[in-house]
Chain A
Amino acid sequence: MGILLRISLRNLLRQKRRNLLLGAAIAIGMAILVMANAFSHGISDVLFNRILKYVSGNISVSFTQNGNRMNQLFRDGDRMKELIRKTVPEISSVNEAIGIFSRVIGNARTDNAILVGMDLKSETDPKRLADLKENFRLIEGSYDNLARKDLENPVLLSDEKAKSLNTHMLDVLRVRFQDVNGQNQAARVTVAGIFKPANVFMNTPVFLDIGNLKQLAGYGPNDIGQLYIMIPNPKKNAIPGANALHVALKPPLASAFGHLEFKGRSATATALGFRVDSASLAGLMKLLPGFFADYRLMSNDVLVGKALADSLGLHAGDRCSLSYPPKSGGENVTATFTVTKVLPASTNFPPNVIWVNDRAFYTFYYDHWPSPPQSENGAFLPDSTSSLHPFLCREWILMNRSHTTEEMQRDLKLLPQLKSHAVAVGVPTMYESASMIINLEYALNLITLGAVLILFFIIQVGVVNTLRMTIRERTREIGTMRAMGMQKNHVRNMFLLESFFLTLFSCFVGILLAFAGMWLLSKIQIHSEGNHWDMLLVNGHLHFKPSVLGTALFMPLILAIAAITAWFPSRTAANLPPSEALGHFG
């Protein structure tokens, strides 16, 4: 051990009382900092890992229809799930998150609720199952009742919701809601369990088996709602996973290949949808300037090439039908269109194509997803270099990856400008879906850090005063050491080391204190039902989540503050002339 270090450490013990008091102040400051950081981290942990991940997963794939985020539906579910499994590595689970706003009629009382589907069969991981059950501390009934076949649409609801509906176990309630097709529906549900919510966000939902909910809401066998993907270590993997998925979700061109039929005549044809936003319509018209000089392309147009129209005897105003094989297999399905205009022969607009406006196109397309057309069979599939390509409909619209909730909301607001009936697919992670939670955590941390820095500044004034006192008392020692041949910088470093070690030991004690404090505080039961503070609690207890990284960063920060404040008195000590220091009687 170096002589400077030895002298510094022993001097710390020499002035026990003074250093103990100062150390206690630093330790308390550190403890407050660690506890405050753990508390704010705990809040985001509650929001992210105990609430949000059950609402949107670590990564979610959303399917917004007509700009309405509450209307989540994708008609090619198996394909989407397969794509996710191929793209995102190490998936823990992929679940559907379906929530439907409803009005619940209880015993002489009604209330609003969100019907939330739960996939009971998918939860096989004992830890996740335990986590789930922690969120459902059942007062009556059982979590497993949701799977009972003898009850009509069994549901779990919070004790508060049960109270507001004046309902009890096994009571039958009626619910009114709008299904995915926009039709009003009513259904009967049975109270199969009443739970005490782990947090305020668990008050509103009424939970039922997702299979039952999908059936009630009009989902087809291959239809899916929003998907949420659970992955291990989401902090590290969620954003890269979402980015990879976003690349894989680039939508292909949407088309249907079959037979266009009119008055007993038939010809092979490819149906392509064209975008109807004003920029796309203008772009399409520029591709056939001669024709579109006299005719303005409209958002409800269905256009047929002249050769195809002639072969079928089709004219504007005629109603024809396209018979095509659906992706799900089985017999061909038929889509009918009213032709609004026959296009002249053109290299830009090939002859065996029926050009269908966005709304009409997606109506038949999503109702019966066509089997992918093959160009070898004669289907016209323009590649990305084609001048037509930018104006044609894709299988879906891929939303940009957004980094914050604000960006995501802004992009959603821009969706109607596309005037498209395509499903908008988004791939947000929970960190972007609720970036305000991260911002809240940052803000809390900043406020805490600011407050603690002020506290440390006050403490460091104490350090400076103590050090000055120490130096005054040890002036003759400084003189002796300088006379012996100790260089100025060694004298300075000796005092800096003392401050450093005092702060370091105090920080360690502070961390221990913080952990003891957090353990004690988290043992206190807080009754805050109906109070919004409830969201900060887990089962009525304060939730602390200490961050190793945060704590590890505070240490050098506080040590740096100590070093900076100790620097000036230490330097003064080092610059004392030896003769003056030796002659000092302190």
Chain B
Amino acid sequence: MNIIEIHGLTKDYALGETTVHALRGIDLTIAKGDLVCIMGPSGCGKTTLLNVIGGIDSATTGSVRIGGQELTTLPDREITDLRLHRLGFIFQTFNLIPVLTATENVEFPLLLQKEHSKSEIRARAEKLLEEVGLSEYRHHRPSELSGGQRQRIAIARALVTNPDIVLADEPTANLDSVTGASILEIMQTMNQRQQTTFLFSTHDKNVLKYARTVVHIKDGLIDGE
């Protein structure tokens, strides 16, 4: 069963008077529970593709379906709601909220959902922090943590809502190789344990071994799978 279906996806950006064709007709399907690596050099369109799949950016043309739901025609409020309930995000620069502690950062999406009790939210956040090995840092603010620790909190935050898909944009780019590897191992473990679909982008060939499927992108087009 495909969780992501993309057909004829293009994305153009206006850059001054010129138009940049970031995606030039992507067709891609991703099965539920897959761990997909989107590989390609800088500027090839990896981040744009993840942004469009995540509803963070809009497509110029084409179709993007998440769990059968067409994304390109949804209004902002519903796309935001879809992100909250069905998607998780991991960013290259971790993007934790600096004024919140590790636990509060993990709790954040659940608090936005307003669907769970306080105790349930706290229990889920602490369980995930334990799984990523950061229980003892739960009261620390992001500024008091290392890059690897921050990214593990970001993973916990992405997974706390039990999303269908986690989109990770170069999650290891700002980490040393050992820490990067540990991050990918966590993602691999979570993927296997929870059957969550993971899509991560990278330009580092060394991390391909963690992916079950690799999609190569070049100049806004799929170069091979």
**A interface residues, Cβ below 8 angstroms from B:** 3, 6-7, 10-11, 14, 476-477, 479-488, 490, 577-579, 582
Per-position contact with A for B71-100: 1 when CB-CB < 8 Å, else 0? 000001100110111000101010111111
Report the minimal beta-carbon distance from B61 to chain A, rounded to whole angstroms.
Answer: 17
Contact residue among A485, A487, A582 (Cβ-Cβ distance under 8 Å from B95): A582
By the criterion CB–CB under 8 Å, are B99 and A485 in contact? no
**B interface residues, Cβ below 8 angstroms from A:** 51, 54, 56-57, 76-77, 80-81, 83-85, 89, 91, 93, 95-100, 104, 108-109, 111-113, 157
User: Which single residue of chain A is at the shortest CB-CB distance from B95?
Assistant: A480
Closest 9 CB pairs of A and B: A485-B84, A10-B99, A579-B57, A480-B95, A3-B111, A578-B56, A485-B83, A579-B56, A579-B51
In the complex, 5 of the A-B residue pairs with CB atoms within 8 angstroms, ordered by the A residue number, are A3-B104, A6-B104, A480-B96, A487-B80, A488-B77
Report the minimal beta-carbon distance from B14 to chain A, rounded to whole angstroms.
Answer: 12
Whether A582 contacts B84 in the complex (CB less than 8 A), given A10-B99, A11-B99, A486-B112, comes out as: no
- B97, B109, B111, most chain A CB atoms within 10 A: B97
CA of A7 to CA of B100, assembled, Å: 7
By the criterion CB–CB under 8 Å, are A484 and B91 in contact? no
Whether A484 contacts B56 in the complex (CB less than 8 A), given A11-B99, A14-B98, A477-B97, comes out as: no
By the criterion CB–CB under 8 Å, are B112 and A485 in contact? yes
Beyond the given pairs A485-B81, A486-B112, 10 more chain A to chain B contacts, judged by CB atoms under 8 angstroms and listed by A's residue number, are A7-B99, A7-B100, A476-B95, A479-B95, A484-B157, A485-B84, A485-B109, A486-B84, A487-B80, A488-B77
Report whether over half of chain B's contact residues are helix, strand or loop; otherwise say mixed: helix
Report the minimal beta-carbon distance from B21 to chain A, rounded to whole angstroms.
Answer: 16
By the criterion CB–CB under 8 Å, are A484 and B98 in contact? no
By the criterion CB–CB under 8 Å, are B89 and A484 in contact? yes
CA of A476 to CA of B95, assembled, Å: 8
List chain B residues, Cβ under 8 A from A488: 76-77, 80
CA of A524 to CA of B85, assembled, Å: 66
Whether A577 contacts B81 in the complex (CB less than 8 A), given A7-B99, A483-B89, A484-B112, comes out as: no
List chain A residues, Cβ under 8 A from B76: 488
Report the minimal beta-carbon distance from A210 to chain B, rounded to whole angstroms.
Answer: 72
Report whether over half of chain A's contact residues are helix, strand or loop; otherwise say mixed: helix
By the criterion CB–CB under 8 Å, are B57 and A484 in contact? no
By the criterion CB–CB under 8 Å, are B97 and A481 in contact? yes
Report the minimal beta-carbon distance from B106 to chain A, rounded to whole angstroms.
Answer: 11
List chain B residues, Cβ under 8 A from A486: 80, 84, 112
Contact residue among B80, B85, B91, B104 (Cβ-Cβ distance under 8 Å from A582): B91
Contact residue among A14, A480, A485 (Cβ-Cβ distance under 8 Å from B91): A480
By the criterion CB–CB under 8 Å, are A484 and B99 in contact? no
CA of A222 to CA of B112, assembled, Å: 82
List chain A residues, Cβ under 8 A from B109: 484-485
List chain B residues, Cβ under 8 A from A484: 83-84, 89, 108-109, 112, 157
Contact residue among B56, B85, B93 (Cβ-Cβ distance under 8 Å from A483): B56
By the criterion CB–CB under 8 Å, are B56 and A7 in contact? no
List chain B residues, Cβ under 8 A from A480: 89, 91, 95-97
By the criterion CB–CB under 8 Å, are B80 and A485 in contact? yes
Whether A3 contacts B108 in the complex (CB less than 8 A), given A14-B98, A484-B84, A582-B91, comes out as: yes
List chain B residues, Cβ under 8 A from A481: 97, 108
List chain A residues, Cβ under 8 A from B99: 6-7, 10-11, 14
List chain B residues, Cβ under 8 A from A6: 99-100, 104
CA of A482 to CA of B80, assembled, Å: 7
CA of A582 to CA of B97, assembled, Å: 13
List chain A residues, Cβ under 8 A from B85: 485
By the criterion CB–CB under 8 Å, are A582 and B108 in contact? no
CA of A172 to CA of B77, assembled, Å: 93
User: Which single residue of chain A is at the shortest CB-CB distance from B163?
Assistant: A485
- B93, B95, B111, most chain A CB atoms within 10 A: B95
By the criterion CB–CB under 8 Å, are A487 and B97 in contact? no
CA of A11 to CA of B100, assembled, Å: 10
Report the minimal beta-carbon distance from A500 to chain B, rounded to whole angstroms.
Answer: 17
List chain A residues, Cβ under 8 A from B81: 485, 487
List chain B residues, Cβ under 8 A from A476: 93, 95
CA of A198 to CA of B192, assembled, Å: 89
List chain A residues, Cβ under 8 A from B113: 485
